[in-house]
A and B are shown apart, each in its own frame.
Chain A
């Protein structure tokens, strides 16, 4: 009897809404019904709103069922696998949300079995690394520079320049440090990639190491991602066992290995120098720059610090050429970004699109508006340090420079939607409160300013000398922005100022604390 392949994601969001239980129910039902199945735990395609998204392979097509519950499973079998059912969405590769994307970096996510070296190899796995070995480090550096790729962690620094700097710096030891401390609310693209294509990240880091002459890599993973930790741990074992990490990789003469480190719940450790401190076993306190990590990074050695998505964009740049990547996007924002639709949105999930798409297109065309069905009031982009955009700014194209112009930032591409019930004075207060909780304490504007900021906002909400406190808050924002050591204190004013600018009336009406 033929075996039917059934895919159930093993990915945090899918599992958080019951994917494991559904997988168990499918295995049980198959056994009872005497149906031969092969249960594959794939990554998520990123259509989080459809999770758990179950696929059944019929005649080579993967038929998708959305929001499957344990109670649905018997019905799926009764209808005949792949047959008609209320939850049936048709072939997964015809779902509009997924096909209308520009999947450059996330193309294997959902498609493949993350912890199968064989499946990875079948889907171009390690092909770019082999190509790098053939062409040499200069060719890789050339392709990355030509691609115009910029750091996807938030700062948007040109990756080619960073890699070239490390390559040009003489040292007995260099490092690749992958920043997987994805702490911005509204962002989950790093996690989705690490869970859906962990071997792809490993390949990316090896390519980076080869290009700059680094023999050791570190992944700094936040502790809030325990499932990701299990998946990455296993993927590293698989890569080592397969001879893709370690000494003399595949007879190339290139040595490279990766150590996986866990964070410990500090937001600031997502800042590159704080992350390096933490990797050295210390408090995650921000370092002064210069020296740049590219010159003196981890343990004082030249270090490439890149975000997960930045690194994972590289294999296809090597495979298909930097020009191809640079051909996507607009202006100086080349290529694609994995936007993450989150918060009060009907169809939340990951949408990898070329730069230039507008916020409104993402929210309306992909996201389907708010989950509550109410009008959009504000959209926070770029995490807790990002501005709140009012509805009239939603036609801004997603482009690093266009966002800078309106006092906002794209950051790591998280888009958090709030409906008209949101109390923006409370959101401004939270921005300061979060800074007070997470400040590393090294510089005064951030450490003290954030606490004073909460107090000033509380007075405004209470109606105590609102105009004077408004001026005081603006002045405080100026000080924090100009005098803080890193983005934590320096950008906390962004969301605060955006509330003052666009939603000042909420200070009078705030029903909160």
Chain B
């Protein structure tokens, strides 16, 4: 993941939404989807383009869990921490993940970022894990290791 985002790419996303401040959440979501995170420079640029104060943009970025302000690893592994998954052993699965990935929540090791998520809507196939925006169900420790091994192979 590169440091910073090309200014033209940010402008283009803002233009897709008519540079309308009412679409700030959608613009930031599009940036995160495409680039993984939101650098400080991008916050300044968006404030200019949308005619908002930097504090306004920063406030929104800071409010929503999706809007990371640090570059994540190449892959993002989210483990559901909510009740339905807890009832099926997500606490133990999370402990296993932290150990096998060698990282804590919100941290990155060997290009894999581990994050909590509160419900993936896969509560009848718990525990659930999302890897790079794809949801996996009935994930036990062995299946988790296979999924992560698959990530490493794909590079």
Contacts and interface: CB of A to CB of B under 8 A. Distances in A.
Interface of A: 12-13, 15-17, 48-49, 51, 182-188, 190-191, 222-227, 261-267, 278-285, 299, 340-345, 348-350, 371, 380, 384, 414, 416-419, 422, 427, 430, 434, 437-438, 440
Contact of B122 (A16, A282, A299, A414): A16
A92 B26 CA distance: 40
B70 interface: no
B135 A185 contact: no
B63 A414 contact: no
B82 A185 contact: yes
Interface in B102-155: 117-126, 128, 130, 133-138
A182 B121 contact: yes
B83 A380 contact: yes
Contacts of A13: 122, 124-125, 137
A224 B130 contact: yes
Contacts of A223: 29, 66
A337 to B, nearest CB: 16
Contacts of A371: 88
A489 B145 CA distance: 38
B123 A416 contact: yes
A438 B65 CA distance: 9
A282 B60 contact: yes
B45 interface: no
Contacts of A279: 25
A64 to B, nearest CB: 17
A280 B24 CA distance: 8
Contacts of B137: 13, 16-17
A262 B29 contact: yes
A278 B25 contact: yes
A430 B83 CA distance: 9
29 contacts: A13-B137, A17-B125, A51-B125, A185-B82, A186-B83, A188-B123, A188-B124, A222-B121, A224-B119, A226-B133, A264-B28, A264-B29, A264-B65, A281-B22, A282-B25, A282-B60, A283-B63, A284-B63, A342-B87, A343-B126, A344-B87, A344-B88, A350-B124, A371-B88, A384-B82, A384-B83, A414-B123, A438-B118, A440-B63
Residue among A183, A226, A438 with the highest chain B CB neighbour number at 10 A: A226
Contacts of A48: 124-125
A266 B118 CA distance: 9
Contacts of B32: 264
B136 A16 contact: yes
Contact of A284 (B64, B80, B134): B64
A266 B21 CA distance: 19
Contacts of A267: 118
A185 B26 contact: no
B48 to A, nearest CB: 16
B29 A12 contact: no
Given A187-B121, A188-B122, A343 B135 contact: no
- Among B28, B88, B121, chain A packs the most CB atoms within 10 A around the CB of B121
Contact of A186 (B23, B60, B63, B84): B84
Contact of B84 (A185, A261, A280, A282): A185
Central interface residue in A186, A418, A434, by most chain B CB within 10 Å: A186
